[in-house]
Structures are given as C-alpha cells and as structure tokens.
Chains A and B, each alone.
Chain A
Amino acid sequence: MDRVVPQAVPLGQMEVFQALQRLHMTVFSQSVSPCGKFLAAGNNYGQIAIFSLSAALSSEAKEESKKPVVTFQAHDGPVYSMVSTDRQLVSAGDGEVKAWLWAEILKKGSKELWRCQPPYRTSLEVPEINSLLLVPKENSLILAGGDCQLHTMDLETGAFTRALRGHTDYIHCLALRERSPEVLSGDLRTAKEVQTIEVYKHEECSRPHNGRWIGCLATDSDWMVCGGGPALTLWHLRSSTPTTIFPMRAPQKHVTFYQDLILSAGQGPCVNQWQLSGELKAQVPGSSPGLLSLSLNQQPAAPECKVLTAAGNSCRVDVFTNLGYRAFSLSF
C-alpha cells in the first residue's frame, strides 16, 4: 500500500495544533445557498465554511478553489444542523438558533441576523438542536432537539409558537410530509404526531446490538425511509408496515430520496444507492471514514452546480458530479 510521504516542514506549536484540529474535525451539516452556487458546511468546532461550488466545478479550478471562500466562528459548540431559506442561512447547534444573510455572508466579519433560544425546561444542561425543518407554508421553523420536544418558531416574529411533546428520548431527525402537514420525527422510539411507529418492535428490522435509535428519516408523502439502530427500512405510511428492508449492516445516519433511488450514508465511507425494491445499485466510496450528512444541490438557478455533496468524520466534503464516482473533495 502506498504510504503518502509528508513534506518535511518544521512544525511549530501552532502548526501542530492546527493539524490536530483538522484531524479531529467532523462536519455535521451542510446547506446550499438559494442561488445554488455556494455550499455552507458546519463543523464540530462551531465554524461555518462557505465553499464556492461554481469556482470548484469550473474548468480552471485550482487547489485554492477547494478551500473555503470564508470561514467564521458561528457558534460556541458544534453546528449540528443548517437549513436555508430563500434569503437566509439558519444554523443551530448547542441550544441556539442563529440566522445569517446569504448576501452578506461572503464578507468577512458578518454578524448574525438574529439569534434566539427555544424555551427549555431544564437549566442544568443546554440541550442541543439536532435538526431544523422549514415549513414554507406557515413560514415557520421547527427545531428538534435534545430535550425531546419539537419547538416551532415563527420566522417573521421570531416567537416560539408550539412545543410538541411526546418523544421519550432526544430527537435526531425531522422530515416534512408535503401533502398533509405532518412532521415526522424520529428518536429512540419513533413517534409521529399522528402515529407512533415503534420501529424496533418489528422483528425484521430490529437490530438490538445497535440499539433502538432512529438516526435518519426521509419521506416521500406516502413512503418513509428510516434507519439507524434498526436496519434501514422502507415503510408504507398509510398502513404503517415495513415494505422493504435494505441489507445494510452499518447504522445509517442520513437518508434521502432522489429520483427513483434512495441514497443513504452512515458508518462506513460509502454513499449507498438503493433501488426501491431493496437492491443495492451502487456503493460509491468517499474520503471520510464515516458520513453524517448528504446534500443534493437541486436549486434551479444553478444547474451546472447540480452535485451531491457528502460530509462526515473528517474535514473534507466530497463532491459527486456523477453519482457513480467521487469527483473531488472540498476541505476546511
């Protein structure tokens, strides 16, 4: 096996520290700008980096194009989730939600547009916000977090309207069901607003040694895919029955529907592509040992930047121009 021989650069204290930081960096979340040309990525040190997808994908791309255009310290703790409205980038991490203007974000030293904290019950530990969800019809933001509640926040007024309880453990992921205004949330034991599907109880998909938690959730109106501790399964929502179980050993952290495929990523360096019937179509290896977030750039304004980006347990964000192979990696 080829060993990469590193350059003999004398390393002082600063360089060693930076190298160690990069080694232990995890990118938790990604979000695409409304114009489709920029990608924001948030990591476990609370930094958000903005990458220029158009520059990196252009034919004159150099090494510097794969570095962030701007990096700033957004939160004190890790940035667990980000979501983009048509003008703002909303990021959430350790108990706080902040918003940034996409138009201003490229200038260094930009300040956040607003920040607020959902009302928490416990004061001993600030719960983290694992997932954000935009409900465009109501123009509101739903936060799911470590205090086992779903908070709804109105984007215009900034006030927290509702708090939905019912989960017994902290909430990992949210998905919006388009046709009927339902929000699906998954945690240790799945509980929806309307229905409770206890995934782990079903024999086919439970995997006790991994635990009961639901790490990822995606929905396509009638169908839902969820996975995590239990195996990755496709459910029919109306009847609440599992239809297909995908034979993936490693727990999956992110899953999404794309055209007629299901893309999933989790522990293990590959992005998996599944047919709806349960067959594995392709396994495309990335550069990180584990993936936490997938993002598809489907913004209509920038069709040339239509790429899939995957990020996880490293400082690199993989860019797939064609779902069949990894084109290159952007790095912090």
Chain B
Amino acid sequence: MSSESSKKRKPKVIRSDGAPAEGKRNRSDTEQEGKYYSEEAEVDLRDPGRDYELYKYTCQELQRLMAEIQDLKSRGGKDMAVEIEERRIQSCVHFMTLKKLNRLAHIRLKKGRDQTHEAKQKVDAYHLQLQNLLYEVMHLQKEITKCLEFKSKHEEIDLVSLEEFYKEAPPVISKPEVTMGDPHQQTLARLDWELEQRKRLAEKYRESLSNKEKILKEIEVKKEYLSSLQPRLNSIMQASLPVQEYLFMPFDQAHKQYETARHLPPPLYVLFVQATAYGQACDKTLSVAIEGSVDEAKALFKPPEDSQDDESDSDAEEEQTTKRRRPTLGVQLDDKRKEMLKRHPLSVMLDLKCKDDSVLHLTFYYLMNLNIMTVKAKVTTATELITPISAGDLLSPDSVLSCLYPGDHGKKTPNPANQYQFDKVGILTLRDYVLDLGHPYLWVQKLGGLHFPKEQPQHTVIADHSLSASHMETTMKLLKTRVQSRLALHKQFASLEHGIVPVTSDCQYLFPAKVVSRLVKWVTIAHEDYMELHFTKDIVEAGLAEDTNLYYMALIERGTAKLQAAVVLNPGYSSIPPVFQLCLNWKGEKTNNNDDNIRAMESEVNVCYKELCGARPGYQLLTNQLQRLCVLLDVYLETESHDDSVEGPKEFPQEKMCLRLFRGPSRMKPFKYNHPQGFFSHR
C-alpha cells in the first residue's frame, strides 16, 4: 500500500537529511575528542545568560584597560611599559575570553540552528505522512462512492413489481423462502424470471411476424384478383347499355349526369336536384340534362399558386403591351363588363313536354359574378308552324315567358347588390344584355334556391333547397299552361288573320246560329299606338296597359257599321282575360263616353268573361270574346230604334228575338243571349 511506501520514503528522507550533519559532527567530535575537550558539551553546560554577562564584563574591562593604556601612553614614561605590558597581557586574556565567547556563541548558534533544522525535518516528515494519509483517505472515499454508485445493468430493466412477481413466477424461480429474506437473491430471482418471460415473448413475436407475412401475401393475391375484376365489370356495364335503353332505365346516363352535376355551381345544382326529383316523382314529361364543358368548370378552381404565376406573367405581358399600345378606355371597360357578366360554363337544360307533343326547352345559366340565374326559352312543336304576322311575339324566346308570375318581367336584375357592381363598369341595366344572357326572372332565382330579401340585403346569398322545392310544382304547371295557351293563340291568330273567328264546337252554344257581322281585320299594334288611341284612356288610367302586354286591333263590319276593338292581351292569358275597348263608327262615332250601349257591350266581354272561357283550360276565351262582339254588334244595329223622320227602311232589320228592346234607366239593349231558347234579354 501506498502508506507503506510513504513510510519507506520518509525514513529515507530523514536519514538523508539528518545523517550527513550528524556524521560530520560525529567525525569532528571524534577527531577533537582526543585532543580538546568538546566545546559543544561545554555549551550545554554554560548558561547563555551568564555568558552574556561575562561578555559585557569583558568588554567593559577591555574598554577600561584600553582607556588605561591610552592614559598611560598619553602620559608616556618608561615604567609605564611594564604596566602597559601588564595591561596588554590582560587585554589579551580578555581578548581570548572574547574569542571564546564568540566561539561559544557560534557554537550555540549552530546548535540552535541544527536543532531547529531537525525539528523542522521532523515536522515535515509528519506533514508528509499526514498528506499521504489524507490522500489515501480521499482515494478510499472515492472508491467507496464509486462502488456505491455502481449501477448494474440489471437495474435498468423494468422488472415486474414484487407482488406480481410472486404471483406469476413459478416457485422454481421465485423461491420465496429464500428470496423473501435475501434481497440479493430476490433480485436474482426476479432477473431470472424476467429473462424467461422475455424468451417466451420473443418466441411469440417471431411467430406473429411469420403470420403477418403470410397474411400479407394473401391480401396481395386478393387485391390482384379484385383489380382484375373492375375492367370486367365495366365491360359488362357497356354491354348492358342497349338493354338499359330497351327497358327505358338509363342508369348509366343518370350516373354520368350526377358526375357532371358535382361541378355545377350551387344554384344550378339545387335546380338540377329539385328538377330531377320532381320529374321522377310527379311529372314524367320533364327531363333534365346538363350541358357545357366540365373541363372549363374544373379550370375555374385552379390552385392559387398557378393563378398567381399566371397573374405575374400576364402582368409583365400587360406592361409590355401597354408600352407598345395603350388599349382605349372603352375597350378596357368592355372587357370589365364582359368579365362581370361572365357565365358559368355549365348550364342546366329542362325539357317540358306538353300534351300535343310540343316541347318547351329551357336553358338555365348562372352568372358567377352577379350571383343570379338566367333562363333562355325556346318552343319547338311537333309539326312546323307557319307563323301568322300578328303572332310574331307570341312564341318569341324574348317574350314567351314574360310575366309568368304577375309583374315578373325579367328585365331587371333581382339581386340588389348588382347595382353597385354595375355602377363600377358602367352598365345601366341588365335589359340591354338579356337577349344574350337570358332573362333573370324571379321564379328562376327561386328555383335555384336564391332569395334576395329587400329588407335585409345580404352579402352572400346561398342556394336553398326548400325554397326551390316549394316553387317547383307551381312553376312547372304555369310553364306548361303558358306554352299551351300561346300555341292555342298561335293557331287562333292564324285563323283570325283570315277573317274567320274559330269557335270550337263545344262553345257553339254560347252564340246564336246566325251571326252576320264579320271580323275583317286582325293586326298587332304597338304599345305606344295603343296609348294614343282616344277610346283607350280609361284602361290606361286604370293601369291595365303596361309595356309587358301585347296589343291588337280588330275590325268588325256589318254593312256601313264599323266596329273597332282595341285588345290588350296580358301575358298571363288565359287566367287574366284580354280587355277590349270599342269604338263604333255608324251614324257618328260612338264610344263608351257618349253611348251607354257601347259601354254595356264592353262590359259584356270584359266583365262577364268567365262564361266565355269555354272548356278548361279556357284557351278559347279570346275567340269567344270576338264572336260575342260580333253578336253584340248584330243586336246593337238591329235593335236601334227607328227614326220616324228619316225616310226609308231600317238598314238592319231586326232578326233577333228579343223580349224587350229597352230596359232600365239607361235604356239598355238586350245583349244577353239565352241558350237554348235563342232569345236575347237583359242582364
């Protein structure tokens, strides 16, 4: 051990330090012992204090002797020499004492030094020992702490808790009788158990891995099988298409439609869904299709980075072009307008088939920036229609759907927010563009689920299915009646222009057998012309003559009498009756202002129109009204009282059977025809 080595070391040091000094002294002592007595020993015996006293006395004597010498010398004399000599001998003795004393002092000093040195050496040796021991102690302590801190690997393993261990481990391993008392054994046992468990689990793991491999392989196989199935199914579907068509179950078509429908904008989607549902549930004559380019629709939703790149490119290009050629403000504005009025590339087409095989084709578009829907209409008939001149506007795409609901003329945008957008690009109204874009009727917006409440203008209007569903049935029915009434009118106009009032056989009972007055002319007139006529003022003032109505002029003649009838045809024919205003030219001009009977005739056709409607749906109303006017003119002319002062027979002899010619305070003529008796009476 190191302590031993340091012990070994120390004595060497001591010896090496102390030995030579003692040796020298010993040698000098032994040399001089034989000759002189040891002054060292004398030093030990003499008292240093007395030596000091002696020294002081010697110095004093010497001083005294010197002083005496000096005195003697200064006095001079021969006898003095002996005294001087005596004194000199004394001083020499004193000098000898001094020398001895000096020697003694030196020796003492040396001794003292040696002693000190020796003591120092000893102290150093002890000090070194102490250091060694301390070092050893520290070293030991370090070792102890190291040992104490030693963590065996077994402590890193999470062992199961003691209770579990004793529960689960078999007694062979756990050896409870041994391990309970001895923690070392316990830990060993626990480690044993751990090892065994791990081995078992490793086994299991290997097994499961191999299982998994097996199963994965099976999955692969099945996947391949399935993927080979898909093309087979497709081919079966293709093959079944002819069968589908044969059985009128176009599933494929419907499926494709639903695929494209996913790209529709929300209002068109609502319309598509509701219309398809309605068509399937209630109305087999309605068919829905989607037209347009799906790719363009997808292109509208390109990811923003692409478009930003495009923008930066196009900006750069634009800058260049602006340097070369500045586009005029008008062109820029035009582009902005076009951008604002842009349509979504997809559109929904509805085909409504009516009883007589005529079809109403409606194409619905969605204007993306304005958030409204528009519709374009077209009527096709089973047979080719020859359009009479007066029927030009009846089936024109511009006006055939006008005022489907009262007041819905489709010339203004229903979205109040659009006005601000229009102001920015200088569009006054949508009216200028409806021919191209289609009409934004209110019912179209409702079918698309768009609702624009006037009281609270909203920023974003979302498409609502319930709104669309609630309006679908009424609107479809109205559309059908509209088409059919227009077609009926179309046919009637063709006949009217030839001067024949076409009365169907089931309406013949409304009129007498013989009607002499004839319809001579039937033409359209413009709205402004109608307003200018002098006998139509009442109708205009009552607000019944709007620019959405159609206006006609009929001329009925008998003999010299000419009856002009100005007709206002409301787009909602035949639920809203046409309104007639009459002007008779016979012996003067008579209108409802100056002749009560003309007023009564107007009342007969305008107010009592319900009996003239004929069989439902009442498209015969106009022709029946015209026929009745002819009958009324007959009655009027024939029942005119004869003027006795004028010579000659009556121009129109009375052929009608009337009970009384005049009745009531205003002396009305009998305008009411009674069937089947065939006479005329008053209302």
A-side residues, CB < 8 A to B, are 3-4, 6-13, 15-17, 19-24, 26, 28, 77-78, 80, 124-125, 128, 130, 146, 170, 172, 208-209, 211, 213, 215, 253, 267, 289-290, 292, 313
The CA-CA distance from A128 to B599 in the complex, in Å, is 20
Within the complex, which residue of B405, B407, B579, B662 is in contact with A170, where a contact is CB–CB below 8 Å?
B662
Q: Which B residues are CB-close (under 8 A) to A253?
A: 665-666
Within the complex, which residue of B572, B575, B599, B660 is in contact with A125, where a contact is CB–CB below 8 Å?
B660
CB pair B594 A289 closer than 8 Å: yes
CB pair B544 A19 closer than 8 Å: yes
- In the complex, chain B residues 523-554 whose Cβ is within 8 Å of any chain A Cβ: 531, 538-544, 546
The CA-CA distance from A114 to B322 in the complex, in Å, is 93
Question: Given the known A-B contacts A8-B546, A16-B577, A211-B641, are A292 and B665 also in contact in the complex, defined by CB atoms under 8 Å?
Answer: yes
Task: State the majority secondary structure of interface residues on B.
Answer: loop
Q: Which B residues are CB-close (under 8 A) to A28?
A: 664-666
Is B602 in the interface zone, CB < 8 Å from A?
Answer: yes
Is B159 in the interface zone, CB < 8 Å from A?
Answer: no
Q: Which A residues are CB-close (under 8 A) to B579?
A: 16, 20
CB pair A26 B544 closer than 8 Å: no
CB pair A11 B607 closer than 8 Å: no
Is B398 in the interface zone, CB < 8 Å from A?
Answer: no
Is B644 in the interface zone, CB < 8 Å from A?
Answer: yes
Question: Given the known A-B contacts A7-B543, A13-B572, A253-B666, are A20 and B607 also in contact in the complex, defined by CB atoms under 8 Å?
Answer: yes
Q: Looking at B405, B577, B645, B662, which has the most chain A CB atoms within 10 Å of its CB?
A: B662
Which residue of chain A has its CB nearest to the CB of B532?
A3
15 A-B residue contacts at CB 8 Å? A3-B540, A4-B540, A8-B407, A11-B544, A11-B576, A12-B406, A13-B572, A19-B543, A19-B544, A20-B577, A23-B539, A208-B644, A213-B662, A213-B667, A289-B593
CB pair A124 B666 closer than 8 Å: no
Is B638 in the interface zone, CB < 8 Å from A?
Answer: no
Is B185 in the interface zone, CB < 8 Å from A?
Answer: no
Complex A-B, nearest 3 residue pairs according to Cβ-Cβ distance, in ascending order = A10-B407, A6-B543, A10-B406
CB pair B683 A313 closer than 8 Å: no
Closest-CB distance, A318 to chain B (whole angstroms): 16
Question: Given the known A-B contacts A10-B407, A13-B575, are A78 and B664 also in contact in the complex, defined by CB atoms under 8 Å?
Answer: yes
Which residue of chain A has its CB nearest to the CB of B681?
A125
CB pair A21 B543 closer than 8 Å: no
CB pair B542 A22 closer than 8 Å: yes
Q: Which B residues are CB-close (under 8 A) to A213?
A: 662, 667
The CA-CA distance from A16 to B538 in the complex, in Å, is 13
Which residue of chain B has its CB nearest to the CB of A22?
B542
Closest-CB distance, A32 to chain B (whole angstroms): 19
Q: Which A residues are CB-close (under 8 A) to B641?
A: 211
Is B570 in the interface zone, CB < 8 Å from A?
Answer: yes
B646-683 vs A, CB cutoff 8 Å, 1 = contact: the mask equals 10000000000001101111110000000000000111
Q: Which B residues are CB-close (under 8 A) to A26?
A: 596, 599, 666
The CA-CA distance from A6 to B531 in the complex, in Å, is 12
Closest-CB distance, B342 to chain A (whole angstroms): 31
Is B408 in the interface zone, CB < 8 Å from A?
Answer: yes
Closest-CB distance, B587 to chain A (whole angstroms): 9
Q: Which B residues are CB-close (under 8 A) to A15?
A: 406
Q: Which B residues are CB-close (under 8 A) to A10?
A: 403, 405-408
Question: Given the known A-B contacts A19-B544, A20-B607, A125-B681, are A208 and B664 also in contact in the complex, defined by CB atoms under 8 Å?
Answer: no
Is B257 in the interface zone, CB < 8 Å from A?
Answer: no
Within the complex, which residue of B542, B570, B607, B663 is in contact with A146, where a contact is CB–CB below 8 Å?
B663
Which residue of chain A has its CB nearest to the CB of B546?
A8
Closest-CB distance, B147 to chain A (whole angstroms): 105
CB pair B542 A23 closer than 8 Å: yes
Q: Which A residues are CB-close (under 8 A) to B667?
A: 213, 215
Question: Given the known A-B contacts A6-B543, A23-B539, A24-B607, are A209 and B643 also in contact in the complex, defined by CB atoms under 8 Å?
Answer: yes
Q: Which B residues are CB-close (under 8 A) to A80?
A: 664-665
Question: Given the known A-B contacts A16-B576, A313-B596, are A11 and B663 also in contact in the complex, defined by CB atoms under 8 Å?
Answer: no
Q: Which B residues are CB-close (under 8 A) to A7?
A: 543
Closest-CB distance, B646 to chain A (whole angstroms): 8
The CA-CA distance from A8 to B543 in the complex, in Å, is 7
Within the complex, which residue of B408, B599, B665, B683 is in contact with A130, where a contact is CB–CB below 8 Å?
B665
The CA-CA distance from A20 to B681 in the complex, in Å, is 23
Q: Which B residues are CB-close (under 8 A) to A17?
A: 577, 607
Question: Given the known A-B contacts A146-B660, A211-B641, are A6 and B665 also in contact in the complex, defined by CB atoms under 8 Å?
Answer: no
The CA-CA distance from A80 to B403 in the complex, in Å, is 40
Is B606 in the interface zone, CB < 8 Å from A?
Answer: yes
The CA-CA distance from A254 to B624 in the complex, in Å, is 37
Q: Which A residues are CB-close (under 8 A) to B644?
A: 208
Closest-CB distance, A285 to chain B (whole angstroms): 13
Q: Looking at B541, B643, B666, which has the most chain A CB atoms within 10 Å of its CB?
A: B666
CB pair A24 B606 closer than 8 Å: yes
The CA-CA distance from A38 to B646 in the complex, in Å, is 48
Q: Which B residues are CB-close (under 8 A) to A9?
A: 407, 543
Q: Which B residues are CB-close (under 8 A) to A211?
A: 641
The CA-CA distance from A77 to B681 in the complex, in Å, is 13
CB pair B662 A3 closer than 8 Å: no
CB pair A19 B542 closer than 8 Å: yes
Is B603 in the interface zone, CB < 8 Å from A?
Answer: yes
Is B276 in the interface zone, CB < 8 Å from A?
Answer: no
The CA-CA distance from A170 to B659 in the complex, in Å, is 13
Which residue of chain B has its CB nearest to the CB of A15?
B406
Is B592 in the interface zone, CB < 8 Å from A?
Answer: yes
Q: Which A residues are CB-close (under 8 A) to B593?
A: 289
The CA-CA distance from A304 to B337 in the complex, in Å, is 67
CB pair A23 B664 closer than 8 Å: no
CB pair A23 B575 closer than 8 Å: no
Within the complex, which residue of B538, B603, B646, B665 is in contact with A172, where a contact is CB–CB below 8 Å?
B665
Which residue of chain B has its CB nearest to the CB of A21?
B607
The CA-CA distance from A26 to B407 in the complex, in Å, is 30
The CA-CA distance from A170 to B682 in the complex, in Å, is 14
Q: Which B residues are CB-close (under 8 A) to A208?
A: 643-645
Q: Looking at A21, A24, A128, which has the most chain B CB atoms within 10 Å of its CB?
A: A24
Which residue of chain A has its CB nearest to the CB of B537?
A3
The CA-CA distance from A267 to B597 in the complex, in Å, is 12
Q: Which B residues are CB-close (under 8 A) to A11?
A: 406-407, 543-544, 570, 576
CB pair A124 B665 closer than 8 Å: no
The CA-CA distance from A213 to B661 in the complex, in Å, is 12
B586-628 vs A, CB cutoff 8 Å, 1 = contact: the mask equals 0000001110100100110011000000000000000000000
The CA-CA distance from A290 to B598 in the complex, in Å, is 13
CB pair B664 A130 closer than 8 Å: yes
Q: Which A residues are CB-close (under 8 A) to B531?
A: 3
CB pair A289 B546 closer than 8 Å: no
Q: Which B residues are CB-close (under 8 A) to A21?
A: 607
Closest-CB distance, B198 to chain A (whole angstroms): 89
B278-293 vs A, CB cutoff 8 Å, 1 = contact: the mask equals 0000000000000000
Within the complex, which residue of B576, B594, B645, B666 is in contact with A209, where a contact is CB–CB below 8 Å?
B645
Question: Given the known A-B contacts A130-B664, A146-B663, are A16 and B603 also in contact in the complex, defined by CB atoms under 8 Å?
Answer: no
Closest-CB distance, A293 to chain B (whole angstroms): 8
Q: Looking at B538, B544, B645, B665, which has the most chain A CB atoms within 10 Å of its CB?
A: B665
The CA-CA distance from A3 to B534 in the complex, in Å, is 12
Closest-CB distance, A75 to chain B (whole angstroms): 12
The CA-CA distance from A292 to B666 in the complex, in Å, is 8
B544-586 vs A, CB cutoff 8 Å, 1 = contact: the mask equals 1010000000000000000000000010100111010000000
The CA-CA distance from A11 to B643 in the complex, in Å, is 45
Closest-CB distance, A288 to chain B (whole angstroms): 10
Query: With contacts A19-B542, A23-B538 known, what are 9 further pairs, Cβ within 8 A?
Result: A16-B577, A78-B683, A125-B659, A128-B663, A172-B665, A290-B596, A292-B665, A313-B596, A313-B666
Closest-CB distance, B369 to chain A (whole angstroms): 28
Closest-CB distance, B152 to chain A (whole angstroms): 98
Q: Which B residues are CB-close (under 8 A) to A209?
A: 643, 645-646
Which residue of chain A has its CB nearest to the CB of B572?
A13
Question: Given the known A-B contacts A13-B576, A170-B660, are A77 and B683 also in contact in the complex, defined by CB atoms under 8 Å?
Answer: yes
